Amino acid sequence: MASNPRALPTATAVGAPAVVLSSAAVVPASASAALDELLQGNRRYATGRPRRGRAAAPHPFAVVLGCVDSEAAPELVFDQGLGDLLCIRTAGQVLDEAVLGSLQYGVQELRVPLVVVLGHEGCGAVAATLARLRTGAPVPGHLELLAAEIAPAALRTRALPGDWAEHTMRAQTVWARDAIRADSGFAGASVVAARFDAGSGLVSLLP
């Protein structure tokens, strides 16, 4: 995967100091305000004008479950600073009890109003799962768990026309969103699914 040239724009490139401590002390208090802040931050990121550098304040206003693939780092993608997001990352956004417990910590203990499940195009875990299904070759070690968890989304979308990897990523991300929504441990939180495109830098919400 080619690196995203927008990921680390220099101060010269954006015509502003690379690190600016924000005066925005207001933490979004509702799910809709939190989502607005994330999407506004993503537009800054995608257009090469990230703010970042917000003074660290441990008041996360969104929980993000994203993938481990390095280009999909939520703090960068949403242009947020330390303390703004509670991030949990597993390959392919795979859920397990530790992940659910960590998500629930954010929602129940820290009273974070918004959970974002963030998939991305070109996902390595999805590619490995599709290779496993195509060839039947076993996946080594602990990776087998990831392939087994992503395989249902791949099998549900195998007959669709177009890009199987894209269909699988979307189905896996939406499935994780729906599983979290259906869990009583997350009652009261808004849970959305989204897709990050490393090429454009843009995040879009998934239906």
What is the nearest approach in angstroms of Zn ion to the Cβ of residue 151? 15
What is the nearest approach in angstroms of Zn ion to the Cβ of residue 120? 6
What is the nearest approach in angstroms of Zn ion to the Cβ of residue 196? 9
What number of chain residues touch Zn ion (CB under 5 A)?
Answer: 3
69 binds Zn ion (CB under 5 A): yes
121 binds Zn ion (CB under 5 A): no
What is the nearest approach in angstroms of Zn ion to the Cβ of residue 125? 5
Q: Which is nearer to Zn ion, 69 or 149 (CB)?
A: 69
14, 48 contact by CB (below 8 A)? yes
Q: For tokens 């481990």, what's the residue?
A: 68
User: What CA–CA distance (Å, rounded) separates 79 from 39?
Assistant: 9
Q: Which stretch binds Zn ion (CB under 5 A): 26-34, 68-76, 109-117, 181-189?
A: 68-76
Neighbouring CB atoms inside 10 A of 131's CB total: 13
- Give the count of alpha carbons within 13 A of 206, CB side only: 26
176 binds Zn ion (CB under 5 A): no
User: What CA–CA distance (Å, rounded) separates 102 from 105?
Assistant: 5
Beta bridge partners, 172, equal none
Candidate residues 67, 77, 146, 194; the one interacting with Zn ion per rule CB under 5 A? 67
What is the nearest approach in angstroms of Zn ion to the Cβ of residue 119? 7
- What element of type H or E holds 41? helix 31-46
User: What CA–CA distance (Å, rounded) separates 117 from 94?
Assistant: 10
Cα angle 32, 150, 128 (rounded to 5 degrees) comes to 120
What is the nearest approach in angstroms of Zn ion to the Cβ of residue 184? 28
**Residues 80-119: x/- map of binding to Zn ion (CB under 5 A)?**
----------------------------------------
Q: Which is nearer to Zn ion, 106 or 122 (CB)?
A: 122
Q: For tokens 């849970």, what's the residue?
A: 191
Q: Which residues bind Zn ion (CB under 5 A)?
A: 67, 69, 123
